[in-house]
Structure 1
Amino acid sequence: MFEIGFTELIVIGVVALIVIGPERLPKVARTAGHLYGRLQRYVSSVKTDISQEMRLDEMRRAGEEFKQSIESAAADVGQQATVVDDYLRNELESVNQAVADASRKVSESAVLEAAPADAPAQQSLPLDLPDQNPRPPAPVAVIETAQGDHAGKPA
């Protein structure tokens, strides 16, 4: 803090002895020592508080950067998922179209084989394809009666 050498301390002590007097000098020196100690503790606590605030600020900044990187990664994953989903939907549509075309060709060839040779050729016949997603059968609830009989009733 201040650079006070030994000679400056001797000069300050002699001046204090002359001004304060030899009876009150020890009491004033103790009081000055206590005040100096309090001042040092106060400065030390302020330094510690400032250091902690700086660390907290750094941690907040690091947390924000981490949050932004996670959000960026999540957005990238979402975009990739959308691209994959679109691709798979297109592939599903092309597979369904190929299956429909193949079943139409098979049914047309079966109709042509079954038709007599002198009969005129028919144009494509409409097909009734089964549902793509058939519904599962309704669950059956088992109800137990007082006699222990089981009766199956649809739920």
Structure 2
Amino acid sequence: MFDIAWSELGVIAVVALVVIGPKDLPKVLRTVGQWTAKARSMAREFQSGLDDMVREAELDELRKAAKQVSDFSIENEVKKTFDPDGSLEKQFAEHNQAIMDATRDMDISKDISGATPAATPIADPGPSAAPAEPGPAESADAAAAKTETKP
């Protein structure tokens, strides 16, 4: 990490032995080791905090994407595509209101007159003019008898 060679470490150890002395050197090394451990733990906490923030940011993005997918409405998309300014919907509403008003006016006029419009009878076409063909249950003799009796 710092790119210190063994020869440089040896020089530092000799200088520390001379400056600090052999009696206090173990205490100093223990204190330096504890400081190093604290610095590493603080670096790990900082890194884990950053990782948590990144994960939360990603989760927020995923939540937003999921909400957009769940809020998707094909009806709204079609309306946006075909009628972005809402003019068609307004025209349809006006047309429906006019129909409802006309229908209500017709119902009121029917109630006032007391008469209902006469239903148009449907003409009954009656039996078909074409001769009936013999069915599978009829024999050939019965079919011949029917044809002989007709003028």
TM-score with structure 2 setting the length: 0.50
Q: Relative to total residues, which structure has the larger strand share, 1 or 2? A: 1
TM-score with structure 1 setting the length: 0.48
The structure, 1 or 2, with the larger RCO (C-alpha pairs under 8 Å, 6+ apart) is 1
Is the radius of gyration larger for structure 1 or structure 2? 2
